[in-house]
A = this chain, B = another copy of it.
């Protein structure tokens, strides 16, 4: 059948897409933008009662999976829940310090939010609670507004306000189906940002780890290192260093064991709590706290007190809380959604990003009214949860119950816990956030991505967490805009023995067609690149003509533009094509288009460009365009 093509006679017509009116086009576009996952599909052709039920199930996935829940699943959830509880309690106490809050607020934040998430969330593997990076970010942003030491009350109010608005932001993003906005944080950016945050957090721990009294308020590496070295002569406490470093070594060994043998995953998971118990007993017995070893001191007994009345809903503090909440909320979302997606892909279930955001947002709004600060899904605890064999978010409920019992009964036991052990636990936890393998892969695959990654890393380490985030987002957006501004172009040649035309740089065996230049623009043609694309095509032509002249070959009289990758065009793009057509006409070169897509052909027709160059100058493939031109070339040659 293809022989027909080779003889050059029957040329296939380029199809026009069915005309859509404006409203239809707009609806389709909006639907694809905001409802890409088609969330309303199950509701189609259902009676109203069924729709209500489906809607409830949508909001509260527990109604969905709760029906199939059984004892065997519960058993596995209990194991997973107990494991993550033992990991989360010491982490919570440490992370609260990163946010400049008392330890109990870390525990509070691991009690209420997981319960809300268990009802509304749809990830089965995520473990909810405070996380290191968000705690640090929140602490840094809040401290810029209120002094956490001298104005504890106001600081806490602003923290709850920020948490409230973080929740509102998250829920709003999900509800307005703007979840795709967080995709503007690229993988490379997140790797860099997380790595930078981990280094910053680890550096902050030097305070507790070395037992330094006077420590900088800044988070950048230069200030921290100055603080550390200026206190070296008098401010370090050897007992503290001894406790910290021996337990850090223990934790790192546990981490290593867990990594090497997957069935020993519980070793690094319970190691922190075991270390806390050991270190606390040691201090209690040796009275090391009387020799300069700082301890946690009292943690109030009792579960979360209500805090709704402490939130600023109006006034300047509300505005500050909104700004801080938006930043912290988006970063928290990014972490939770990334984790959720990773584990959903592993177990092959669908995760609705927008729905997750509503769940996480509601969880933080409820949290802000029950003395919690921003919680989200934690990398380290979720991984443990997954490996411990969690089946549903019931494991979060188990963890929450354990935290509650701790708050009610066990808090006095933490009195003699040395701060150094908490620092050691945080350091060993955040080390996992430094993903140098991913960074190396990024370097290998895409240098520009690597620049974004490194930019985020250094921004966080050398300046501050917010600046690092800003740098990373700016580089990522600049990358997109740059690539939209300077699309690739390629010259095509015929692959011998076929009617296929491909990039001659990629396929060196491809042969050029005498008298014709075949150019492909590898991008939609928009206002950002329309002039460049036009000029670039003319430059290909000039370069080519110069070479032909040198070799005394016949000149080019046909320019075939392969439009296959040109997925869309706007009015500026059509202008550029018109100018290209006119420039080529002056040089006696015929412009021919091959394989324009539906959006392009429709717009070219509306703008009367097809009338301008002639319906017969548009071909289905480059091959057919060459065939149609072949007789002319022969005559002229």
Contact = CB atoms under 8 A, between A and B. Distances in A.
Interface of A: 1-6, 12, 15-18, 22, 25-26, 32-33, 36-38, 180, 183-189, 341, 345, 348, 353, 441-442, 444-449, 476-477, 479-488, 490, 495, 497-500, 502-503, 505-509, 522-524, 526-532, 535-536, 539, 564-565, 567-568, 570-572, 574-575, 579, 582-583, 586, 595, 597-599, 601, 603, 606-607, 620-621
A445 B607 contact: yes
B565 A567 contact: yes
Contact of A572 (B186, B601, B603): B186
A571 B441 contact: yes
Contacts of A477: 481
Given A535-B37, A603-B446, A4 B582 contact: no
A583 B345 CA distance: 7
A565 B568 contact: no
Nearest to A451: B26
17 contacts: A1-B6, A15-B509, A17-B505, A36-B532, A185-B527, A188-B570, A345-B583, A348-B582, A442-B571, A445-B607, A449-B571, A480-B481, A480-B528, A487-B567, A488-B567, A505-B598, A522-B568
A470 to B, nearest CB: 17
Nearest to A189: B527
B18 A528 contact: no
Given A12-B495, A446-B570, A497-B4, A506 B598 contact: yes
Contacts of A441: 571, 607
A2 B498 contact: yes
Contacts of A488: 567-568, 597, 599
Contacts of A532: 36, 180, 183
How many chain copies does the complex carry? 2
Contact of A528 (B184, B495, B568): B184
B498 A12 contact: yes
B571 A187 contact: yes
A15 B522 contact: no
Contacts of A574: 445
Given A524-B523, A575-B187, A570 B2 contact: no
Contacts of A595: 502
Nearest to A33: B486
Point out which of A22, A442, A506 has the most chain B C-beta atoms below 10 A from its C-beta. A506
A497 B606 contact: no
A395 to B, nearest CB: 23
Contact of A447 (B12, B26, B442): B26
Contacts of A482: 33
Given A5-B498, A488-B599, A341 B531 contact: yes
A400 B579 CA distance: 32
A525 B185 CA distance: 14
A36 B506 contact: no
Contact of A484 (B480, B498, B570, B571): B480
Contact of A529 (B183, B509, B536): B183
Given A180-B532, A186-B570, A484-B484, A16 B506 contact: yes
Contact of A446 (B37, B571, B597): B571
A585 B2 CA distance: 34
Contact of A598 (B5, B12, B37, B503): B503
Nearest to A609: B445
A484 B479 CA distance: 12
Point out which of A25, A480, A599 has the most chain B C-beta atoms below 10 A from its C-beta. A480
A503 B620 CA distance: 12
A517 to B, nearest CB: 17
A496 to B, nearest CB: 8
A570 B438 CA distance: 13
Given A22-B447, A36-B532, A477-B481, 7 more contacts: A32-B486, A33-B486, A183-B530, A183-B532, A188-B527, A449-B570, A480-B481
A258 B48 CA distance: 67
A435 to B, nearest CB: 12
B579 A345 contact: yes
A527 B187 contact: yes
A488 B36 CA distance: 11
B526 A572 contact: no
A62 B447 CA distance: 43
A569 B568 CA distance: 19
A188 B571 CA distance: 7
A482 B568 CA distance: 13
A348 B487 contact: no
